[in-house]
Amino acid sequence: MTEPAIQVTDLVRDYPRPRTSLLRASPPVHALRGVSLEVQEGERFGIVGESGCGKSTLLRIIAALDRATSGQVVVEGTDITRLPERRLRFLRENLQLVFQDPMSSLDPRMRVRDIIAEPLVVQGHPASGERVRELLDAVGLSADAGDRYPHQFSGGQRQRISIARALAPRPRILIADEPVSALDVSVRAQVLNLISDLVDELNLTLIFVSHDLSVVKHVCSRVAVMNAGQIVETGPTADVYAAPTHPYTRRLVSAIPTLQRALSGATTTDLVKGVLST
Amino acid sequence: MSALVEEPEVAEQSDVLAVRGLTVSVRDKVLVEDVDLTVGPGERVGLIGESGSGKSLTALSVLGLLPEDVHAKGSVRLAGIDHDLIGADERQLARIRGRDLAMVFQEPMTALNPTMRVGDQIAEAMLIHRTVPNRRAARTAATALLDRVQLPGVARAYPHQLSGGQRQRVVVAIALANDPALLICDEPTTALDVTVQAMVLDLILQGVAARESALLFITHDLAVVATICQRVLVMYGGRVVESGPVHEVFTNPRHRYTEGLLAASDLDSAAHRLPTIPGNVPAAGNFPTGCVFRTRCAHATDICTTTPPWTGSASSGFACHHPAPDLVALETRRSSREVADD
Amino acid sequence: MNDEGGSVSRGAESALGVPASDPAGRLDGPAVRRTAGRRLNPSLVVGGIIVLVIVLTALVSFVWTPYDATLVDPAVRLAKPSWSHWFGTDKFGRDLLSQIMVGSRTTLFVGLVAVGVAAVIGVPLGILAAMTRRWSSELIMRANDLLLAFPALLLAIMFGAVFGASTLTAMVAIGIATVPSFARVIRSGALQVMRTEYVLAARAAGRRPFPIALRHVLPNVTSLITVQASVSFAIAVLAEAALSFLGYGTPPPTPSWGRMLQESQEFLFSAPRLAVFPGVAIAIAVLGFNLLGDGLRDRFDPKLEDRR
């Protein structure tokens, strides 16, 4: 077996809380309490959890945008946990992110072509118009989109621009943080398809984070369920969805309203039953 | 409800809410056009739509809470109220809001006054409309309401001491405090986690059921509507494009938009690629003339530049020139043919 | 949306172009809001016209004034307004209108220097405070508070005593005294920008802090800088008038509205117009820049527009 693309071992992240008492320091917030996971090369790995479960903190530490309190993150064989910024170049080239909020993920004062070219410029690659057009085309936008500003695009289109920017440095790992939660249903399907296609085409390793288990189930082959800073269950998505073993996962699965279940007569009482019974 | 007998002009007796020909516009832009909507007593109606569909504006028009330069035309009648809500002045509306007509908005973080204890806020909702004799009775009723939304003992808490889900339950308690004839919820659980959402939805349903209140539930989430509503209206581009009983609309959609939306949101089917609706949702007020969906519709032809007529009854129908085949009718025909073949 | 920090946070949101929208607003709001924002607001128009008139007056005064503003003509001392002297003359027989026209140059110069000094120091400090870690950021902001607590006029008088009274020293002092308000506003705006995902994306692509400040933070706080600048401009104009009145500002014979006011003192009852004309000029200029500031703020902030 080849080495995993990403290996996280016993990751802990505490945030200091502002003092509220003169006498005692406030107890820190435990955002991550010993998270371990492994993502194989070319795998589509999902992370599911509700707000405040620590999934965003985990992503940021994997992307070296935040520091761990303890534990280790190894990306493609290199331990990045203690590396200084100047030695992270390989990570900046090989790992890229797509964010949740299409409004705040693009600089409103920059033209789309400059936004997409930014990673190239930063990493000293020639940012040719050719490459930008190629990327726009890859995400299904016309070439003249490059001349416009982000506010001229709808949410779904902005998310495409985000994806194009992430793909610019030809990364091997793509991390998507809730990439479709802010999108309309009719547009969500397009963006999910796009991510799926690009991951296949470019042989990317995908980490897909969402609060929505059904979306993760559609995109990912394996999933980790997070709750209160810990991973409570990991496994093939279909299994976790069909037969959750951890009580929290069971609660999560049963609380999701789905069309199928609703049309076959499920009520809110059924949704809550799962929440309360465990 | 005695007013109903005295005032024959009041909305048809069978409807709690009757919206007729509602058109909402801001200067030259029409954001909602010709919306008809009725909610019967105790009925639970869903209003689904994406951004720019006008679903929230429709709700705000009913409440008379439109932003300053946005104007509504048409008629909004509420059972027991002898005047039209559109064009009613603020004093008349204030008397209705919170008593006959209650609302729950999306954002639980800003819906409560941060400087007031939550018990007092619920009590105040009753005192404003004098539905309780005095402050003591209001306090007692508030505590009872908080018990009902499974928040015992928090009456003396301030909003910041509660989580988002708990706050939304307080908002629900306030909305239900005066046993409104109609409860309007605008995306009440969108900001909440799924496990919390399940609980809040259940409380809303129990609340309206216990009071025999009608419910108008606005959301973009098809599954939520399917779980809690009996009837649904699908909005797109400021128009109602299809309506009917939930089961019928969701299993046998006739408008091409509804059909596409259902297919695109079906994440459970095994297929790797999802069926999509091409293009993007235009910004509010920028939808095409004629059929609002024609620019994204695979079936659109020249005739779609004219506004499609409404097919079906007032409570169940669609507005599409090229409707999807009626699966139920096909099924019936096929089975009858099989019978004939035998 | 959070309301902490009052006007500061409101201004800060405008820096991002879009308010951190609640999805309810997002779902149905954009068209409504965008069209509302496009309307010209009256304070922007009125403020803009006043400022434009002052700038034009200053420009015209370079090539033409009715008389030489410093020309002493004993023959027409304390003349009443007439066709030959529209605003009359002062105790030396200098033409008041000409003095006011040339004085507008001083006013603009004063504003530019003070605002320039404040912005050049305050903006980088604000951005630095927003981008650095705890202790250095704390240091900057506490030093800021210290300076904020020090009266601006006192600082200017001290500068005048040390470096000699001149328009320039007075205005550098006023500029330094307004650094804290700049730094504060810019810091809160920059903090918001730092929290956006495009900054995160830039960091993930390997951008270093300095280029991030230049490429992403600065362009997105320009609207804040503009608003702050026009308000500070008004403060500087007023400060110069006050300093000249006290004798620490523009030394004679350069015409200045503040000093004209001071010189009018002895004739306050016999020839009140000597005080009225420069006084009104100062009031209009201050009003103009304040209106412009308010107008710009409203224009950059769609949320505020909604609320009115």
Name the closest residue on chain B to residue A184, using Cα atoms: B50
- Poorest-confidence range of B104-118, B294-308, C239-253? C239-253
Q: Which two tokens stand for residue C108?
A: 């603009």
Query: pLDDT digits over A34-91, tens only?
Result: 999 999 999 999 999 988 888 989 999 999 998 899 999 999 989 998 888 888 888 9
Which chain B residues have a beta carbon less than 8 Å from that of C28?
Answer: 31, 51-57, 284
CB contact under 8 A, A218 and B205: no
pLDDT at B59 exceeding the cut of 70 = yes
A18-32, B66-80, C225-239: which is most confident: B66-80
Q: Write down the pLDDT at residue A277.
A: 56
Query: pLDDT digits over B64-73, tens only?
Result: 888 888 889 9
My answer on whether omega of the bond before C253 falls inside 30° of 0, hence cis, is: yes
CATH numbers and ranges of domains, chain C: 41-60+86-307 (1.10.3720.10)
Which of C198, C221, C226, C300 to mutate to probe the A interface, most A CBs <10 Å? C198
pLDDT at A259 exceeding the cut of 90 = no
pLDDT at B191 exceeding the cut of 70 = yes
Average pLDDT value over all residues in chain A: 88
Q: Nearest by CB to A165, from C196, C201, C206: name it.
A: C201
d(CA A171, CA A163): 11
d(CA C91, CA C100): 15
Which chain A residues have a beta carbon less than 8 Å from that of B246?
Answer: 262-263
Which pTM was predicted?
Answer: 0.80
pLDDT at A244 exceeding the cut of 70 = yes
pLDDT at B144 exceeding the cut of 50 = yes
Q: How far is CA B150 from CA A168, B113, B175, C88, C136, in A?
A: 51, 21, 15, 81, 47
Query: pLDDT digits over A114-165, tens only?
Result: 999 999 888 888 767 888 999 999 998 988 898 999 888 888 899 999 999 9
Q: How far apart are the first and last CA of chain A?
A: 38
Instruction: Note the residue count of chain B.
Output: 342
Q: How many CB pairs under 8 A join A and C?
A: 75
Q: B257 lies in which domain range?
A: 1-342
pLDDT at C11 exceeding the cut of 70 = no
Q: In chain C, pLDDT over 90 holds for what percent of residues?
A: 6
Average pLDDT value over all residues in chain B: 86
Q: Write down the pLDDT at residue C305.
A: 36
Average pLDDT value over all residues in chain C: 75
Q: How many CB pairs under 8 A join B and C?
A: 59
Which of A83, A90, A107 to mutate to probe the C interface, most C CBs <10 Å? A107
Q: Write down the pLDDT at residue B69.
A: 84
Q: Write down the pLDDT at residue B28.
A: 82
DSSP states of B137-158? HHHHHHHHHHHHTT-TT-TT--
Q: Which residues pair with A177 in a beta bridge?
A: A209
Range B119-132 average pLDDT: 86
Q: In chain C, pLDDT over 70 holds for what percent of residues?
A: 81
Q: Which two tokens stand for residue B333?
A: 């025909």
Q: Write down the pLDDT at residue B270.
A: 56
pLDDT at A249 exceeding the cut of 60 = yes
Q: Write down the pLDDT at residue C155.
A: 82
Q: Write down the pLDDT at residue A227.
A: 92
B208 vs C234, which has greater pLDDT? B208
Q: Write down the pLDDT at residue C219.
A: 86
Q: Write down the pLDDT at residue B226.
A: 92
pLDDT at B46 exceeding the cut of 90 = yes
CATH code of the domain in which B236 resides: 3.40.50.300
Range B242-263 average pLDDT: 92
Count of structural domains within chain B: 1
pLDDT at C1 exceeding the cut of 50 = no
Q: Name the band, by pLDDT with cuts 50, 70 and 90, for residue B97.
A: confident
Which of B200, B265, B267, B293 to mutate to probe the A interface, most A CBs <10 Å? B267
Range C99-111 average pLDDT: 83
Which pairs with CB-CB distance under 8 Å and at least 24 residues apart come from B128-135? Answer: B128/B98, B129/B95, B129/B98, B129/B99, B129/B178, B131/B99, B131/B177, B131/B178, B131/B179
Which chain B residues have a beta carbon less than 8 Å from that of C29?
Answer: 284
Q: Write down the pLDDT at residue C308.
A: 33
Query: pLDDT digits over A174-218, tens only?
Result: 999 999 888 888 888 889 999 999 999 999 999 999 988 888 988
Q: Nearest by CB to A107, from C20, C205, C216: name it.
A: C216
Q: Write down the pLDDT at residue C76.
A: 66
Chain C 29-48, residues with CB within 8 Å of chain B CB atoms: 29-32, 34-36
Q: Nearest by CB to A169, from C197, C205, C219: name it.
A: C205
Q: How far apart are the first and last CA of chain C?
A: 17
CB contact under 8 A, A92 and C206: yes
Q: Name the band, by pLDDT with cuts 50, 70 and 90, for residue B340.
A: low
Residue type, C25: G
B182 vs B279, which has greater pLDDT? B182
pLDDT at C26 exceeding the cut of 50 = no
Chains sharing 3 or more CB pairs under 8 A with chain C = A, B
Q: How far is CA B205 from CA A268, B44, B232, in A?
A: 8, 9, 16
Q: Which residues pair with A37 in a beta bridge?
A: A8
3-class DSSP assignment, residue A29: strand
Q: Name the band, by pLDDT with cuts 50, 70 and 90, for residue A26.
A: confident
- Would you give the DSSP letter of residue C95? B
- Poorest-confidence range of B222-231, B264-273, C127-136? B264-273
| A257 in Cβ contact with B195 (< 8 Å) | no
Q: Write down the pLDDT at residue B4.
A: 42
B140-154, B236-250, C65-79, C217-231: which is most confident: B236-250
3-class DSSP assignment, residue C31: helix
